[in-house]
Amino acid sequence: MEFEPVIGLEVHAQLLTKSKIFCSCSSAFGASPNQNTCPVCLGLPGVLPVLNRQVVHFAIKAALALNCAIQKKSIWARKNYFYPDLPKGYQISQYEEPLALGGWLDVPIDGKNKRVQLTRIHMEEDAGKLLHEHGDETVSHVDLNRAGVPLIEIVSEPEIRSAAEAAEYLRQMRSILRYCGVCDGNMDEGSMRCDANVSIRPVGSEKFGTKVELKNMNSFKFVEKAIEYEIERQKAAIAAGEKIVQETRLWDSKRGVTESMRSKEQAHDYRYFPDPDLVPLLVDEKWIEFVKKEMPELAPARAARFAREYQIPEYDAQVLTVEKTMADYFEEAVKAYPAGPKKISNWIMTELLRELKNGGIEIEQSKISPRQIAKLIELIDSGSISGKIAKTVFEEMFQTGKDAEAIIKEKNLVQVSDTGSIEKVIDAVIAANPKQLEQYRSGKDKLFGFFVGQVMKEMKGQGNPTVVNELLKKKLSS
């Protein structure tokens, strides 16, 4: 029997507020353990939560960007469970009445957009963290800096059909959240996390199979691998006559397998009820309109505008706009050298992206500014340096952050275009290769390339290729 995967994703995104959701502690990452805590986020008896307005603002912004319907009234709920990183014994979340319903995300797949419907977005507080990194396996340490950091949870409908689609969904989601400025999307630091729900069913069947929830995947690559593994595991289990049990499984990235963690708890295990410490949250039309006004141009709109305004291929426009920082970089470079959008796009998409990848850094950490890359391209266009030399110059710019002109001057890399000096080299090359000259003149056209190569070699790559070609043709045929 042939099976088809059914996948629904739950994304948790930490919001970029300065303080936590129900107290004024800093929500910054990286402080020393338990530095950012107070009686409220430590869950001491008698304290009361006070809602951070900015959390709601950011959550509305994300919900609007994801085409959701904002609920005028939503309710805070207590989700009760015991765990050492949750001092109150419950997490404040939203349950029956979340902030936003519906919505969708367009996911580019094989050159087309697949629209994945969303179920809901709600707000909640993050839990603390248990640390086991002190070499002593009998001890756990609790760090409550993260307790009370604001989160939104974005739940998709089970409409995703492959591991690759899931990874692309997450890339698009990250792009949108970053564009809106509500989440930094940093999966290493846990500011964007994903649980994947995976089941399989016979192709053609309407009924869903039993789902397994995968946790603990902190990169797009791991999400994709974990889902791939899980699909195959379920297929094999069914083929062996086993039943899939509803459970939570953890992805072990070292071994490349998912492992059962616990049987999946049901909603009633959490004994949800409205939090008596918090009044219902009311969001009026005015607030929604206010947030709409500050909505930035998002990636799809920006890609369409890039293609139209700068006359670059749609593919380029799409690659350049996935990250807001890269789109900003491109536009700044074009402003500095309006004559060459397509060339700027090429340099960013090939040279710059490659170096960034090799260096393992983001574009905002690049030592080459948009203005500098624009200048480099202008120098090629004006014939000061060849494209080949430019690549060497670029590498040095990337390492040092120096201007192209400074490097060209320092290393004496200016392109030689003057016919006198080029002719001299050509004469010498022809004189040194009489055999090839004879063969060329007797019809072996291919040898032209040989002569160009020799001349360029003599000139250390600095000869202007157009002039070299022209003069060579003349000299070889005379």
**Site residues, ligand ADP (CB under 6 A):** 6-10, 155-158, 197-199, 208-209, 211, 267
Q: Which residues of 188-212 are buried (b: 16+ CB within 10 A; e: fewer)?
A: eeebbbbbbbbbbeeeeeeeebebb
Q: Which is nearer to ligand ADP, 9 or 334 (CB)?
A: 9
Q: Which is nearer to Zn ion, 20 or 193 (CB)?
A: 20
Structure tokens at 390: 């430019």
Beta partners for residue 192, in sequence order: 13
Find the binder of Zn ion among 16, 38, 298, 416 (CB under 5 A): 38
Q: At its nearest, how many Å lie between ligand ADP and the CB of residue 180? A: 21
| 3 state SS for 358-392 | HHCCCHHHCCCCHHHHHHHHHHHHCCCCCHHHHHH
Beta-carbon contacts of residue 90 (< 8 Å; ≥ 6 apart): 78, 79, 80, 81
Q: Is the separation of the CB atoms in 135 and 128 below 8 Å?
A: no
Q: Is the separation of the CB atoms in 244 and 258 below 8 Å?
A: no
Q: Name all contacts of 23-26 with Cβ < 8 Å and 24+ positions apart.
A: 23/49, 23/50, 23/148, 25/148
Only segment of 6-14, 37-45, 175-183, 439-447 that touches Zn ion (CB under 5 A): 37-45
Binding mask 1-30 for Zn ion (x = CB under 5 A): ----------------------x-x-----
Q: At its nearest, how many Å lie between ligand ADP and the CB of residue 206? A: 12
Q: Should residue 62 be labelled a site residue for Zn ion when binding is judged by CB under 5 A?
A: no
Q: Give Cα 206 distance to the centre of its chain.
A: 34
Q: At its nearest, how many Å lie between Zn ion and the CB of residue 376? A: 49
Q: At its nearest, how many Å lie between ligand ADP and the CB of residue 10? A: 5
Q: What, of Zn ion, ligand ADP, none, does residue 7 touch, CB below 5 to 8 Å by kind?
A: ligand ADP
Using CA atoms, how far apart are residues 337 and 389, in angstroms rounded to an integer?
Answer: 20
Only segment of 35-43, 159-167, 280-288, 453-461 that touches Zn ion (CB under 5 A): 35-43
Using CA atoms, how far apart are residues 168 and 151, in angstroms rounded to an integer?
Answer: 22
Q: At its nearest, how many Å lie between ligand ADP and the CB of residue 333? A: 40
Q: What, of ligand ADP, Zn ion, none, does residue 41 touch, CB below 5 to 8 Å by kind?
A: Zn ion
Q: At its nearest, how many Å lie between ligand ADP and the CB of residue 111? A: 26
Only segment of 39-47, 133-141, 157-165, 269-277 that touches Zn ion (CB under 5 A): 39-47
